Amino acid sequence: MKLRLFPLLLFLSLALPAVAQQLPGRLLDRLAPVEGVVVMRVGDEYLIDRDATQGVQAGDLFAVVKPGAPVVHPVTGEIIGKLDETLGYLQVSRVRSGYSYARPLPAGLQLDKGATIRRFDGVDAVLVDLRGDGDGVYRQLVRQLPQFNWQGYRTTPLTAESGKPLLIFQLAGDGLSVQTAAGQMLVQVAPAEIGLQAKSVSQPAAPAVAAPTPAASAAGTALIPGAATVAPAASRGGVLVMQQQRQGIWRGPSLSGEAVALAGGDFDGDGANELALLFADGLTVYRLSAGKLQALGQVRLPRDGVPLSLDAFDLDGDRRQELYLGLGFEDGVGTRIIEYVDGGFQLLPDISPWLVRAIRRGDGSRMLAGQRGGQGMRLTAGNVHVMNRRGGVLAPGEMLGVPPKTSIFNVQPLDDAKGGALWAAIGIDDQLQIFAADGQRLWEGNETVGGHRAGVERRDPDSIQGNFRQTVYRSARLDLGPDGVLLVPVNEGLRFLSQQRKYSKSRVVAYAWDGFSLREVWKTPDESTYLADFALFDADNDGRDELVTAIVTGSGWFSLGKTHSVFQVYELP
């Protein structure tokens, strides 16, 4: 508990005249003071009366303050402040409509209903300058963000011995980032936004960590006995030799570029499955055989449209699965078909105003579902239909009764233990949800799942003057695995309202519905990478389905644009 002076002019300080380099508005807005109250206790957390309409996001720190005696100027008699007492802090974990969940710091902190909370008020903060030229930036931070309790400016990384404040401002070659002591990113701005030039910065070596503990299936069998190492970079073409193999896991070589999505199936009708990997500028088809990944063909993408998704499905019944490429535009979405024609892969010219996804039913069969594009900040909207094909274009068929406010990417049909029909979905706050067939929500989790970086930049019609642009992201997909388990991708890192999504840890988790809640059955080991996509199919043509993931390496804050993608194949329990 600490006593501090709360100046009455704190909320006006951001309006001081600009100095040499004004901090960017989005940084100031993201860290601006917000005042509220504690509503009630829920389990180990508290509800607060602030939400996204006030700019609140997960990771935000609220000081819990006990109003103190006024401070009176001895000459003028003016009240110039109050001696408020800080009781502790609340860190937002989930944002809902009208309220948010927050965990107490320290744990076990006892708070009363109606207790006053102030975002970032008196929160200890430090600037770590890895560039060596950020003294001017530090002066601006202190001047324009006076609500923080600034602990100084240093040019060396924080260590366990030096201790970590609640909030860390780090200045590096690619800009200024703000993160919590636990490493949760809150905001990042580019060097040019703070009057600096981008530069290469040598990063300190990361401490050695133990290999991840293998996840176990319900029967106790290790799914993956160990993590594989990153293979050296390779081009997207040619014959690529297997780089890593362990019992139950295969990891391929690094492929230049960031993967957007993957799909698997028999694309050329020869009876063997291939793998297709979608990048921002093109698509490459591979075959995995005898430990070698061989590139079979490439398709260059048109410059109009941003690649969002990729799915494989034999909609015309010719025993060759077509590839359905989802694209995002300023004013809508569309799907183009890629087919194997005359010995090569061709992008058909027609475009359908739908985004589609191959969805697995509880009985193992699959359907191609589609949804029309939404307006403004909604990527998709309207009813979800089973899709048919008429020539080179898609046409809607039977309507699917998906839960409200879901899209084709974040929803998955699921059978309950008694054979009834359910829907699993990733909610707007990235929590798992289970719905009955009639749309009634039966259960909601409290862990953050999903997370995807594919999106299209659009003008936000609800912004001031209607000219603010931000990225509308695609949701991560769900799928069904063996024995009807629900396969859920998890990316940890910067997300929610941020326009620069960065993920530093990922995995795939299998859940089973027991009639009351989802319980974890098995999971892949944590990877210190971004999981772009996953699929379930017989990747190596051994007659058994594998879990195939596309992970992105070298995509963190300090990668300097050197991004590569890797296939990883897991034998299923």
Q: Do 177 and 313 sit in the same domain of this protein?
A: no
- How many whole angstroms separate alpha carbon 133 and alpha carbon 196? 9
Q: Which two tokens stand for residue 96?
A: 């809902």
Q: Please indicate, yes or no, if residue 209 is contained in any of the structural domains.
A: no
Q: Do 366 and 267 sit in the same domain of this protein?
A: yes
Q: Please indicate, yes or no, if residue 213 is contained in any of the structural domains.
A: no
Which one-letter DSSP state was computed for residue 22?
Answer: P
Q: Rounded to a whole number, what is the largest CA-CA distance in the chain?
A: 92
Q: Please indicate, yes or no, if residue 238 is contained in any of the structural domains.
A: no
Q: Which two tokens stand for residue 242?
A: 């297997």
Q: Do 107 and 149 sit in the same domain of this protein?
A: no
Domain residue limits at 47: 28-121
Q: Please give the pLDDT value at position 221.
A: 30
Q: Which two tokens stand for residue 268?
A: 């050329």
Q: Do 133 and 272 sit in the same domain of this protein?
A: no
Which one-letter DSSP state was computed for residue 136?
Answer: H
- How many whole angstroms separate alpha carbon 64 and alpha carbon 219? 46
Q: Do 102 and 154 sit in the same domain of this protein?
A: no
Q: Do 164 and 299 sit in the same domain of this protein?
A: no
Are 30 and 55 contacting, i.e. CB atoms less than 8 angstroms apart?
A: yes
Give residue 190's identity as a one-letter amino acid code.
Answer: A
- How many whole angstroms separate alpha carbon 157 and alpha carbon 162? 9
Domain boundary among 154, 171, 191: 191
Q: Do 170 and 287 sit in the same domain of this protein?
A: no
Give residue 349's identity as a one-letter amino acid code.
Answer: P
Q: Please give the pLDDT value at position 233.
A: 35
Q: Please indicate, yes or no, if residue 204 is contained in any of the structural domains.
A: no
Query: What number of residues does the chain have?
Result: 573
Which one-letter DSSP state was computed for residue 67?
Answer: -
- How many whole angstroms separate alpha carbon 498 and alpha carbon 543? 43
Q: Please indicate, yes or no, if residue 7 is contained in any of the structural domains.
A: no
Burial degree of 489 (CB within 10 A; 0-12, 13-18, 19+): buried
Report CA-CA distances (Å) from 196 to 171, 179, 402: 10, 20, 49
Neighbours of 97 (CB within 10 A): 10
- How many whole angstroms separate alpha carbon 554 and alpha carbon 372? 34
**pTM of the full predicted structure?**
0.60
Q: For residue 527, what are the β-bridge partners? A: 506
Q: Do 147 and 39 sit in the same domain of this protein?
A: no
Instruction: Tell which residue, 472, 474, 508, has the closest CA to residue 488.
Output: 508
Are 290 and 563 contacting, i.e. CB atoms less than 8 angstroms apart?
A: no
Q: Please give the pLDDT value at position 228.
A: 31
Q: Which two tokens stand for residue 120?
A: 């970032």
Neighbours of 184 (CB within 10 A): 17
User: Each residue's pLDDT tens digit in the chain (573 positions)?
Assistant: 555 555 443 333 333 333 345 789 889 999 999 999 999 999 989 999 999 889 998 889 999 999 888 888 888 888 877 788 899 999 998 888 889 999 999 888 999 999 999 999 999 999 999 988 888 899 999 999 999 999 988 988 887 555 678 899 999 887 899 988 877 788 888 888 898 887 655 544 433 323 333 333 333 333 333 333 223 334 554 333 334 444 568 888 889 999 999 999 999 999 999 999 999 889 999 999 888 889 999 999 887 889 999 999 999 888 999 999 999 988 889 999 999 988 899 999 999 999 999 999 888 889 999 999 887 778 888 899 999 998 778 999 999 989 988 889 999 999 765 656 899 999 888 899 999 988 899 999 988 999 998 988 887 776 655 567 788 889 999 999 988 999 999 999 876 555 567 888 999 999 999 888 899 999 999 999 999 999 999 998 988 899 999 999 875 444 445 788 999 999 887
Q: Please give the pLDDT value at position 8.
A: 44
Are 495 and 430 contacting, i.e. CB atoms less than 8 angstroms apart?
A: yes
Return the ∠ at Cα 28 (arms to 30 and 106), rounded to 5°. 50
Instruction: Report the CATH number at residue 342.
Output: 2.120.10
Q: For residue 431, what are the β-bridge partners? A: 448
Q: Three-state DSSP class for 269?
A: coil
Instruction: Tell which residue, 347, 262, 267, has the closest CA to residue 305.
Output: 347
Q: Do 442 and 520 sit in the same domain of this protein?
A: yes
Q: Do 85 and 172 sit in the same domain of this protein?
A: no
Burial degree of 172 (CB within 10 A; 0-12, 13-18, 19+): buried
Q: Please give the pLDDT value at position 16.
A: 36
Q: Do 36 and 156 sit in the same domain of this protein?
A: no
- How many whole angstroms separate alpha carbon 401 and alpha carbon 385? 9
Q: Do 530 and 404 sit in the same domain of this protein?
A: yes
Residues 6+ apart with CB under 8 A from 436: 422, 423, 442
Structurally, how many domains does the chain consist of? 3
Q: Please indicate, yes or no, if residue 214 is contained in any of the structural domains.
A: no
Q: Please give the pLDDT value at position 214.
A: 34
Q: Please indicate, yes or no, if residue 286 is contained in any of the structural domains.
A: yes
